[in-house]
């Protein structure tokens, strides 16, 4: 079935009309068919450039977790490596070497028992990395020779890639719903859904719904107790898409990584708080035993062995090079300062929004630099009204409802990334104050979730299944 653009209508049948100022003579260009002939490079550039002006300003996009700013030197390196195919490790051995250096750096950052022998690889993003972690869990479970249907336990707040993993690779997803003020996975709730067919538990370090950390250590302790009582040995995968590049620098005493023996694998997104332009992610396993060797392809380069494990084949090496540049350029202290600044901006902005009166904080940005807030009862407007009003000023602030059991809760979420300064936060506050009098004059809310635009970035509704056995 062909994909249909949501805004496609009769206008799309009209060809593009190019203003003569951009070319030697008027040009008519088909929208959805290949042009019959060539055109001047400058004309083609201007045509594409002008259409892209309709996109939102990426720096004002407070919905996305993806990096929207990079140093010129990083961008220059990416341009210099744009033609390099990451999979051709024998042809681009130094790019492959930089990838492995990044893996070893992350292994040390996440306290792998023996960083020199930790298994890992780059990916196109944290979604692919998460799927690799899930595949390794499933293969390890299959080795046990059990005949039931494999299942994976996670909070209903997980990123949508985990629902895709379960669907694509035929694993039953067992979602723990939200309850009351618990907006993510809890240890007792996770253990209650585990059985001999559970391939693993997914713990999220930085929920996309509200920015909170899930209690990884408590989940591991509860699973340790489950093994003592029943013999069931259930591993944990940590989805550190955002928090994996925050906690090591800002919360060094928080046990969430390979310091916990039950943590088998971790993924993170290099193009989120790894500070690289999209797209690159990383998947790491605590040791060689955690990654079944029959999932790994071995490539010979420079007379040595280069293991590779990824869903994608051809992909650019530019982002991997940029990741290495950032690690080299910033070091531990540089990353700590960048992430601390993001957290400082997030917590101050959250506190100032709370002072405005009509809003109540759900989280305050003190975990990953992300916070969620809602409108108070009786405000006369809702979060969807606020999101639409801010969009008139160029700000993209998502509004969405929470999933099953807390569908009564609708929030706005702000993601603070590198490059979103205190000054930009003040501009957002100014515009928020500017729209409040008009919104407060409304007798009742005007907009609904259907008007939200669908840009929740990870806070989408999941489709729970009923577990075959608890």
Query: Where are the chain's structural domains?
Result: 75-328, 341-441
Overall average pLDDT of the 116-144 stretch: 94
Is pLDDT above 50 for 172?
Answer: yes
pLDDT in tens, 232-281: 999 999 999 999 999 999 999 999 999 999 999 999 999 999 999 999 99
CATH number of 75-328: 3.40.640.10
Q: Which class is domain 341-441?
A: alpha beta
**Tokens 């060094």 belong to residue:** 252
Question: Residue 309 — very low, low, confident or very high, per pLDDT cuts 50/70/90?
Answer: confident
Is pLDDT above 90 for 23?
Answer: no
Is pLDDT above 50 for 63?
Answer: yes
pLDDT for the residue 302: 54
pLDDT for the residue 464: 53
Is pLDDT above 90 for 335?
Answer: yes
- Average model confidence (pLDDT) across the chain: 90
What is the rounded distance in angstroms from the CA atom of residue 280 to the CA atom of residue 356?
A: 38
Q: Is 357 helix (H, G, I), strand (E, B) or coil?
A: coil
* Dihedral in degrees, nearest 10, Cα atoms 97, 103, 105, 107: -150
Are 75-328 and 341-441 the same fold in CATH? no
Overall average pLDDT of the 448-464 stretch: 63
Is pLDDT above 50 for 463?
Answer: yes
pLDDT for the residue 359: 97
Burial 31-49 (b: 16+ CB within 10 A, else e): eeeeeeeeeeeebbebbee
Overall average pLDDT of the 174-179 stretch: 95
Question: Residue 304 — very low, low, confident or very high, per pLDDT cuts 50/70/90?
Answer: low
Overall average pLDDT of the 407-419 stretch: 96
Overall average pLDDT of the 210-231 stretch: 98
What is the rounded distance in angstroms from the CA atom of residue 393 to the CA atom of residue 318?
A: 34
Is pLDDT above 80 for 99?
Answer: yes
What is the rounded distance in angstroms from the CA atom of residue 286 to the CA atom of residue 235?
A: 11
Compute CA distances 93 → 103, 270, 427, 453, whole Å: 15, 21, 46, 44
Highest mean pLDDT among 59-63, 90-94, 426-430: 426-430
Compute CA distances 435 → 390, 397, 415, whole Å: 8, 14, 20
Is pLDDT above 70 for 303?
Answer: no
The pTM (predicted TM-score) of the whole model is 0.89
Is pLDDT above 90 for 298?
Answer: no
Is pLDDT above 90 for 116?
Answer: no
Overall average pLDDT of the 292-299 stretch: 80
Overall average pLDDT of the 301-325 stretch: 80
Q: 227: phi > 0 → left, psi -120 to 50 → alpha, else beta; which? A: alpha
pLDDT for the residue 46: 85
Q: Is 436 helix (H, G, I), strand (E, B) or coil?
A: helix
Cα end-to-end span (Å), the chain: 37
Q: Which of 211, 215, 291 is nearest to 260 (CA)?
A: 215
Question: Residue 329 — very low, low, confident or very high, per pLDDT cuts 50/70/90?
Answer: very high
Least confident segment among 14-18, 199-203, 285-289, 386-390: 14-18
């Amino acid at each position: 079935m062909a994909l249909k653009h949501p805004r496609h209508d009769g206008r799309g049948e009209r060809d593009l009309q190019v203003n003569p100022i951009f070319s030697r003579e008027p040009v008519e260009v088909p929208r959805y068919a290949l042009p019959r002939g060539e055109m001047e490079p400058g004309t083609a550039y201007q045509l594409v450039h002008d259409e892209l002006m309709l996109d939102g300003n990426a720096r004002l996009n407070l919905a996305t977790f993806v990096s929207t700013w990079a140093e010129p030197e990083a961008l220059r390196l990416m341009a210099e490596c744009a033609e390099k195919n990451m999979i051709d490790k024998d042809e681009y051995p130094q790019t492959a070497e930089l990838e492995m250096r990044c893996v070893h750096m992350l292994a040390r950052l996440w306290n792998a028992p023996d960083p020199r022998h930790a298994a890992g690889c780059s990916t196109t993003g944290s979604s692919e990395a998460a799927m690799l972690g899930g595949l390794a869990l499933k293969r390890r479970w299959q080795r046990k020779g059990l005949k039931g249907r494999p299942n994976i336990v996670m909070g209903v707040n997980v990123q949508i890639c985990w629902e895709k993993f379960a669907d694509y690779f035929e694993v039953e997803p067992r979602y723990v719903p939200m309850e009351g003020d618990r907006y993510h996975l809890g240890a007792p709730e996770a253990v209650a859904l585990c059985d001999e067919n559970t391939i693993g538990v997914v713990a999220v370090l930085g929920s996309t719904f509200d920015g909170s950390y899930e209690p990884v250590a408590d989940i591991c302790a509860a699973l340790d107790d489950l093994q003592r009582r029943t013999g069931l040995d259930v591993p944990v995968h940590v989805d550190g898409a955002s928090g994996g590049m925050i906690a090591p620098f800002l919360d060094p005493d928080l046990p969430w990584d390979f310091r916990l023996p039950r943590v088998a694998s971790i993924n993170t997104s290099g193009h989120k708080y790894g500070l690289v332009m999209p797209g690159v992610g990383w998947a790491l396993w605590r040791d060689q035993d955690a990654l079944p060797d029959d999932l790994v392809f071995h490539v010979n380069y420079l007379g040595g062995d280069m293991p590779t494990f990824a869903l994608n084949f051809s992909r650019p090496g530019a982002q991997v090079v940029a990741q290495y540049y950032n690690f080299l350029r910033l070091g531990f202290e540089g990353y700590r300062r960048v992430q601390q600044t993001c957290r400082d901006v997030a917590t101050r902005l959250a506190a100032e929004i709370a002072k405005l009166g009509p809003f109540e904080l759900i989280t305050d940005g003190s975990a990953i630099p992300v916070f969620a807030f809602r409108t108070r009862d009786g405000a006369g407007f809702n979060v969807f009204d606020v999101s639409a009003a801010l969009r008139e000023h160029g700000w993209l602030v998502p509004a969405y409802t929470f999933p099953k059991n807390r569908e009564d809760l609708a929030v706005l979420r702000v993601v603070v990334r590198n490059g979103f300064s205190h000054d930009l936060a003040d501009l957002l506050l100014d515009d928020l104050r500017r729209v409040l009098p008009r919104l407060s004059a409304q007798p009742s809310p005007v907009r609904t979730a259907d008007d939200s635009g669908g840009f929740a970035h990870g806070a989408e509704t999941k489709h729970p299944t009923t577990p075959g056995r608890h």
